[in-house]
Amino acid sequence: MSFGSNLAASRRVALALLACLHGIAADAQTAPPPYAVNGALLPLILQMPENGWLRVNANQFKDVWTPAELEPLDVGVTHPPSKIIEAWSGFAWDTNRGDLLLYGGGHANYSGNDTYRWRSTTLQWERMSLPSDIWYDPVAGFQAIDGVDSAPSSAHTYKNNVFLPLADRLLTWGGAAYNNGGPYKRVSETNPNVARSVGPYLFDPNKADGSKVGGTTGSHVQRVAPHPEILGGRMWENRDLPKNIPSQQLSGQNANGCTQYAQENGHDVVYVAATNEQSSNLDLYRYQLTVLADPTQDTMSKVGIFYNGTAGTITCAGRSAALPPPTRCPSGSAPSSPACSGSSAARPTAGSRRCPTSSPATSSAACR
């Protein structure tokens, strides 16, 4: 094969790869996004040898970490932001800009809610926001100092970070929040002795600024110095589904969970694998962000249940070679439908079955 044909093949592969990152089928006629063809990443991919790896970051993640004096303490000490990646947290891919978005930390590892991104257009890591200081509420636990409506606490995010291209927001369900290991919490409005869940949270990449705190002005860490030059970016929004759509079927616990994005009828939709907070079994929920400015128009429902599963088996982040992929079908969908993530040719074993909520668990073809 000639050099020219090799180059053409490499270009087709690279464009297909970047198209897939954009969420476009490789055989679709839609043109790749501008960041794919005009950015710095594609020329590097075109020069790669087959079956090779290439480092594409021009700087290092640690080059843009929050300075230690601006990090909130964790049991009296600070920790490096490397803990955000190391401690059970995941990225989201910003399909509008070609960026990897990172938020995480949490539980017993990292107390900062600072955010970061790697940009495929420049190959550079950037900090998107400085962390909020935190305080301990004896009922609801650790929270951002300016409150749960201004910013979330840090959290293990697992596969619960997802980008919504229509809303142009990062959405996070958290998973294991800092120092509680469970959902984001706030004090109940009806009983000050009880905590209730909050979230999920939206982050606005348009407001990203590594010199600002993600919440409100004055919420940054001032342990060493007041730093009056640090302003609040108001980058976060709490959708607070338990308050805004309390009568709908809401997920309970997102630890060890995962999400998958879909665009349906002109809306951002996220399928969420989470528990009902009564057991450790993952059920399937459908969340729709209908109107960005009005969270009371959001919708959420349970569309699949966990049936007869093996204790401890988590099917979100991976599976053993012996375990077929699980079938997750929205209610009313046949198991062979494209709406289901498992194929009819490789249905799950009895140890990992998920049945549409409308299906009899023991007899429905959707559960076999």
Alpha helix positions (H), 190-267 = 241-244
Shared-domain flag, residues 128 and 251: yes
Whole-number Å distance between alpha carbons of 35 and 25 = 17
Shared-domain flag, residues 70 and 31: no
Q: CA dist 147 to 11, 136, 141, 184, 201, Å? A: 49, 11, 12, 12, 13
Q: CA dist 364 to 21, 339, 353, 360, Å? A: 35, 17, 11, 5
| pLDDT score at 217 | 98
Q: Number of folded domains in the chain?
A: 3
Contact 254, 274 (CB under 8 A): yes
Shared-domain flag, residues 185 and 332: no
Lowest mean per-residue pLDDT among 221-235, 276-290, 353-367? 353-367
Whole-number Å distance between alpha carbons of 279 and 53 = 42
Shared-domain flag, residues 114 and 194: yes
Q: Is the pLDDT of residue 314 over 50?
A: no
**Domain span at residue 298?**
61-307
Q: CA dist 158 to 87, 95, 245, 289, Å? A: 9, 20, 25, 21
| pLDDT score at 285 | 94
Instruction: For 107-121, write each residue's pLDDT tens digit.
Output: 888 999 999 999 999
Concatenating the DSSP letter of every residue in 262-274 gives EEETTEEEEEEEE
Shared-domain flag, residues 286 and 153: yes
Task: Specify the pTM.
Answer: 0.81
User: Does 317 map to a domain?
Assistant: no
User: Does 214 map to a domain?
Assistant: yes
Shared-domain flag, residues 22 and 116: no
Shared-domain flag, residues 147 and 99: yes
User: Does 230 map to a domain?
Assistant: yes
Shared-domain flag, residues 267 and 126: yes
User: Does 313 map to a domain?
Assistant: no
Shared-domain flag, residues 208 and 281: yes
Shared-domain flag, residues 132 and 273: yes
Residue 60, amino acid: Q
Shared-domain flag, residues 97 and 70: yes
Instruction: For 217-273, write each residue's pLDDT tens digit.
Output: 999 999 999 999 999 999 999 999 999 999 999 998 999 899 999 999 999 999 999
Q: Is the pLDDT of residue 308 over 70?
A: no
User: Does 97 map to a domain?
Assistant: yes
User: Does 161 map to a domain?
Assistant: yes
Shared-domain flag, residues 159 and 241: yes
Instruction: For 321-350, write each residue's pLDDT tens digit.
Output: 233 334 444 444 443 444 444 333 333 333
